[in-house]
Amino acid sequence: MYSRERVNAALRHQRCDRVPFDFALGFSPYQLDQFRIRTGQDDPDAYFGADVRGTGISPTRKLNQYTAYLDPSTLPEHAYVDEWGQGHIPTVSHDQYHSHLEGYVYPMLALHTREEALGYPLPDIEAEYRYESARRAIARYHDQGLAVMAGMACTIFEQAWYLRSMELLLMDFVDNPEFATALLDRITQKRVIQAERFAELKPDVIMFGDDVATQRGMLMSVPMWRRWLKPRLARILAAARHVNQDVLIFYHTDGNATAIVPDLIEIGVQILNPIQPECMDPFALKRMYGKQLSFWGTLGTQSTLPFGTPDDVRRDIQLRCQIVGKDGGLLIAPTHMVEPEVPWENLVAFVEAVKQYGQYK
């Protein structure tokens, strides 16, 4: 069976040959180097036979000027500013092990009024020319029998706080609603068009997401999430669905977001990711929502993958395939990026175990 059929069947709770898998956010640079040294190859997805490939929009050709918001002279030499105006400062003080870690500088810290939120330049993420490369990538992967996921995570909340800072945005929700409304609405408008454009390209899955939970539970109360984020997310998901009846709707949030799962299902989410098993129970979720929802992830990157033995990994995979993967509804993946401390043997055990225990009779 081709990966593409497998992924589409499994995530629709239909019959297929085995549980599909992928590497979620991929390998951290250190892991990628180790992989290259070990295998002489460049692409872990191809090497291990992952079932899904990602695609996204191409770089902008109309870069906005953000110097009025983020004075370049205040940034260290190795910092860079992205197309949204957010500053990034990679950690350079340490070894290559930590090379992918970076700090953020927020360009909207000093703003206060609704007018200022409206005046801030946003990038042209919805412009048609930025979707040409995704169109080609989807065709190419489909030719190879692979499933494709178009990425537009950090959909609303995260993109907004990448500009405003999480603390200020959360406080705006309470005491500067005009500002927060203007900012979120502008981002939402662009995301609606982006969702339509991706849906038109017919990838198998569109990835939406915002981290709205911590290890202990929701970052904000459920009523606050329902007021600020749910209706906007619903609009964006509906836009994708309107254009394409078949595309699978994937939603990512870190942490324990059990409290909003019914709401997510209600607004059209079909796949939940990543289900950090250290704080969110994939088995209980399967029992409660397994008919309506599929699960993508579940292999803990804070526990088994970095710190377990290969046998621990195999046991985790076996349990997940048997219970969470029962009658479909599971794509196994690490719950986040494969960080430098993950032993090679555990990665191999992960892939072998899915291929062994994930078989459907």
Partner 1 sequence: MFEPMEDLKQLYDAIVDGNAGRAKTLTTGAVAEGMNPQEILNKYMIPAMDEVGRRFEINEYFVPELLIAARAMKGALEILKPLLTATGAKPVGKVAIGTVKGDLHDIGKNLVSAMLEGGGFEIIDLGVDVTPDKFVAAVKDRGADVVALSALLTTTMPSMKTTIEGLKEAGVRDRVKVIIGGAPVTQKYADEIGADGYADNASAAVALTRGLVSK
**Contacts with ligand B12, residue ranges (CB under 6 A):** 91, 100-101, 104, 211, 214-215, 219, 254-255, 274, 276, 301-302, 335-337, 339
219 binds partner 1 (CB under 8 A): yes
The alpha helices in the chain, defined as continuous H runs, are: 3-10, 29-39, 44-48, 114-119, 132-143, 157-164, 166-175, 177-200, 222-228, 230-243, 261-266, 282-289, 304-307, 310-319, 344-357
115: CB partners within 8 A, 6+ apart: none
Q: Which is nearer to ligand B12, 9 or 224 (CB)?
A: 224
Helix axes 344-357, 310-319, angle to 10 degrees: 30
CB 333 within 8 A of CB 351: no
Ranges within 304-323 binding partner 1 (CB under 8 A): 306-307
Give which of ligand B12, partner 1, none residue 224 binds (C-beta under 5 to 8 Å, depending on kind): partner 1
278 binds partner 1 (CB under 8 A): yes
Q: Which is nearer to ligand B12, 95 or 128 (CB)?
A: 95
Contact pattern from residue 326 through residue 345 relative to partner 1, giving x for each residue in contact according to CB under 8 A and a dash for the rest? -------------xxx----
CB-closest chain residue to ligand B12: 101
**What is the closest distance, in whole angstroms, from the C-beta atom of residue 87 to ligand B12 in the complex?**
12
Q: Which is nearer to partner 1, 17 or 102 (CB)?
A: 102
**What is the closest distance, in whole angstroms, from the C-beta atom of residue 61 to ligand B12 in the complex?**
26
From the list 163, 166, 255, 148, the residue with the least C-alpha distance to 207 is 148
Radius of gyration of the chain (CA): 20
Query: What secondary structure letter does DSSP report for 150?
Result: E
Give which of ligand B12, partner 1, none residue 121 binds (C-beta under 5 to 8 Å, depending on kind): none
160 binds partner 1 (CB under 8 A): no
Distance CA 271, CA 251 (A): 6
**What is the closest distance, in whole angstroms, from the C-beta atom of residue 305 to partner 1 in the complex?**
9
238 binds partner 1 (CB under 8 A): no
CB under 8 A: which stretch of 35-43, 60-68, 86-94, 282-290 binds partner 1? 86-94
Contact pattern from residue 103 through residue 142 relative to partner 1, giving x for each residue in contact according to CB under 8 A and a dash for the rest? x---------------------------------------
Distance CA 241, CA 134 (A): 19
Q: Which is nearer to partner 1, 149 or 218 (CB)?
A: 218
173 binds partner 1 (CB under 8 A): yes
301 binds partner 1 (CB under 8 A): yes
171 binds partner 1 (CB under 8 A): yes
State phi, psi for 272 to the nearest 5 degrees.
Answer: -110, 140
Using CB under 8 A as the binding criterion, the count of chain residues that bind partner 1 stands at 33
Q: Which is nearer to ligand B12, 85 or 274 (CB)?
A: 274
Q: Which is nearer to partner 1, 167 or 327 (CB)?
A: 167
Dihedral Cα 303, 146, 206, 11, nearest 10 deg: -70
183: CB partners within 8 A, 6+ apart: 108, 117, 120, 160, 163, 164, 169
First to last CA, the chain: 14
Instruction: Give the HSE-up count for residue 138: Cα atoms under 13 Å, Cβ half-sphere.
Output: 21
Q: Which is nearer to ligand B12, 155 or 276 (CB)?
A: 276
Q: Which is nearer to ligand B12, 172 or 339 (CB)?
A: 339
Cβ atoms within 10 Å of 232's Cβ, excluding its own: 20
From the list 71, 54, 228, 59, the residue with the least C-alpha distance to 158 is 228
**What is the closest distance, in whole angstroms, from the C-beta atom of residue 199 to partner 1 in the complex?**
33
Distance CA 65, CA 147 (A): 37
- Interaction site with partner 1 (CB under 8 A): 91, 93-94, 97-98, 101-103, 166-167, 170-171, 173-175, 214-221, 224, 255, 278, 301-302, 306-307, 339-341
